[in-house]
Amino acid sequence: MLPLPSVDAALPTIHRLLVRFDEALTRLGGRPSALELERPTFLVHEALSGQSREFHSHAHVLTLTEGMGPIETLAGIFHDVVYVQVDQGFPRMISDLLRPLLTPVDGTGYRIGLGVLEDPAATLVARIFGREPGDELTPLTGLNELASAFVAAKCLAPFLPPRHLAEIAAAIEATMPFRETATFDRLTGRLRDLGIPGLDANACEDAVRAAVRLANRDVENFAEADPARFLDNTWRLLPENNPALHMPNVYRNGEYRLALQRMEGFLSTLAAERVFHAFRGEPSPEVHARRIAQARRNISLAVRYLRAKLYTIALIEAFACATGGDAPIELFLGGIPDENNTNPVRAELFLQPAPDSSSDLDPVLLRLLEEGRASPSSFDLGASPYTAFLYRAFGERALMERLESTRPWIRGRVPARDWLNTQACPPIAALARAIARVTMTRREALEKLADGMSLVVG
């Protein structure tokens, strides 16, 4: 085992990864030297350090593998090392390792190469995933998980026998999210068909139970009892899939709207039964039912939260397009507080509190909008003061009806000003006036727009 520093101080991330590797491999009978531990650790550390990674990071991997068994730990360490749509390809240390196995195709797709047949560890992984040379994969069809399992097998083959490599690859395969539970029966069959000594029918079932345990823990945030904490992770995924948000002072209203729209579109079609899985006693029926029920509640609340915010940003984008064209959101709403400016001018400073005009207010959703998610975001405010204002002014049912009216404008079928005319009422005018106080170059145009809207009672 590695000698730990004899001081009362927290270990840096790379040291924690070294310890996690060392403990897991030792428990499985692997005996790498201290220097041999460095290569896989450095590779994982670099891969998870990508600038665009907000959620799939070191913190996620270390939290995921805390207290897990050695197979789940090693699978968890490697399961996110490849994330092509976030990293824009393979990380540097991984690229050379995967070049003989995966060939890029159009966009973010890759084709499995003949080199897999010449590499026993890669062949093992491909069979566990039910793949073969010539198959084309994308991030939506298991590319990231297959490539991550290739990396794990290549790094761990010098230290572990085929049985353990197969169990680790199966656990990584299981982290492919939002699939039907029957996939685990098929995974069990593929493991059994390998005919590896020590992997009899019972051992294969045990391996898949461990895989399901890791897969469920990977998405455990969906069962979070606090909706603010559930939304935290949802928000950290947004910049990973929307690169424009990596520049918080530059991205435009429309880019933010599109990011929210994509997430709302995904969550609104996600069934809770595809989030968590059960396989032959793992987990217990009671635990599984509780997770599904909480996931259903969290998904429903997140969709309503996103839809409320979508209406607001559609308004702000329309204000921009009607007064000169879309522009950085910072121009319209003001700066995001950071270490250099903890009190930037923002439009909500000029927005009077909205009187509750409706009893149709959900206190949980209102709290999320007014008080914010559990922790700050790197690219926007935690609270949603403009959406909270409109939510209080209209109530939820009317706000959602107004969201439906945005679709022709968002899809480019009607001009921004024409759509804004259909939304005219005092609360919308008040929002436009508040934004006008910040948007110096558009102030006159926005105030004129607000004057026309305030004459309509709605």
- What secondary structure letter does DSSP report for 87? H
Whole-angstrom CA distances from 40 to 19, 65, 138 are 12, 16, 25
Residues contacting 366, CB < 8 A, separation 6+: 388, 391, 392
| DSSP-derived secondary structure for 205-221 | HHHHHHHHHHHHHHTGG
136 φ/ψ angles, rounded to the nearest 5 degrees: -105, 135
Q: In this predicted structure, what is the pLDDT of residue 88? A: 87
- Rounded to whole angstroms, the Cα distance separating 166 from 172 reads 10
Q: What sign does the CA torsion over 191, 192, 197, 200 have?
A: positive
Whole-angstrom CA distances from 49 to 53, 58, 83, 330 are 7, 7, 12, 28
Mean pLDDT in runs of 10 for the chain (458 residues)? 69 93 95 92 93 86 96 97 91 92 89 96 98 95 97 97 98 96 95 96 97 97 92 85 82 94 95 96 97 97 96 97 96 85 88 79 94 81 93 95 94 94 95 96 96 70
- By three-state DSSP, how is residue 161 classified? coil
Determine the distance from the C-alpha atom of residue 260 to the mean position of all C-alpha atoms in its chain, rounded to a whole number. 12
Q: In this predicted structure, what is the pLDDT of residue 337? A: 80
- By three-state DSSP, how is residue 341 classified? strand
Determine the distance from the C-alpha atom of residue 23 to the mean position of all C-alpha atoms in its chain, rounded to a whole number. 29
CA R_g for the chain: 25
- Rounded to whole angstroms, the Cα distance separating 108 from 280 reads 36
Confirm if 155 and 40 have CB atoms less than 8 A apart.
Answer: yes
Confirm if 274 and 184 have CB atoms less than 8 A apart.
Answer: no
- Rounded to whole angstroms, the Cα distance separating 171 from 187 reads 10
452-455 contacts, C-beta under 8 A, 24 or more apart: 452/424, 453/420, 453/423, 453/424, 453/425, 453/426, 453/428, 453/429, 454/426, 454/429, 454/430, 455/424
Which pTM was predicted?
A: 0.92
| DSSP-derived secondary structure for 349-417 | GG-PPPP---S---HHHHHHHHH--SS--SSS-SS-HHHHHHHHHH-HHHHHHHHHHTHHHHTTSS-HH
Q: In this predicted structure, what is the pLDDT of residue 458? A: 47
Cβ–Cβ contacts within 10 Å for residue 134, how many? 9
Q: In this predicted structure, what is the pLDDT of residue 456? A: 54
